[in-house]
Amino acid sequence: MKQLENQIAVVTGAGRGIGRAIALKFAAEGADVVCVSRTAENSEKVAAEVRALGRRAWAYAVDVASGESVNAAAEKILAELGRVDILVNNAGVTRDGLLMRMTDADWDTVLNTNLKGAFNVTRAFSRAVLKQRAGRVINITSVIGLIGNAGQCNYAASKAGLIGFTQSAAREFAARGVTVNAIAPGFTETDMTAELKPELKEQVLKQIPLGSFGKAEDIAHAAVFLASPGARYVTGQVLAVDGGMVM
Which residues are near ligand NAP by CB under 6 A? 12-13, 15-19, 37-39, 42, 62-65, 90-93, 113-114, 117, 140, 142, 185, 187-188, 190-193
Instruction: Select 13 or 161, whichever has its Cβ closest to ligand NAP.
Output: 13
Burial string for 23-59 (b: 16+ CB within 10 Å, else e) reads bbbbbbbbbbbbbbbbeeebbbbbbebbeebebebbb
Beta bridge partner(s), residue 139: 89, 182
Q: How far is the CB of 31 from ligand NAP (least distance, A)?
A: 18
Q: How far is the CB of 229 from ligand NAP (least distance, A)?
A: 25
- Residue 128 sits at the vertex; the CA angle it makes with 124 and 132, to the nearest 5 degrees, is 150
Among this protein's residues, is 60 annotated catalytic? no
Instruction: Select 61 or 130, whichever has its Cβ closest to ligand NAP.
Output: 61
Instruction: Select 82 or 164, whichever has its Cβ closest to ligand NAP.
Output: 164
Count CB-CB contacts under 10 A for residue 83: 15
Instruction: Select 154 or 177, whichever has its Cβ closest to ligand NAP.
Output: 154
Q: How far is the CB of 175 from ligand NAP (least distance, A)?
A: 28
The one catalytic residue among 119, 125, 155, 213: 155
Q: How far is the CB of 80 from ligand NAP (least distance, A)?
A: 19
Query: Distance of CA 142 to CAs 41, 149, 170, 184, Å?
Result: 26, 11, 18, 4
Given a contact cutoff of 8 angstroms between Cβ atoms, the answer to whether 171 and 236 are in contact is yes
**Rounded Cα distance, 99 and 109, in Å:** 15
- Residues with catalytic function: 155
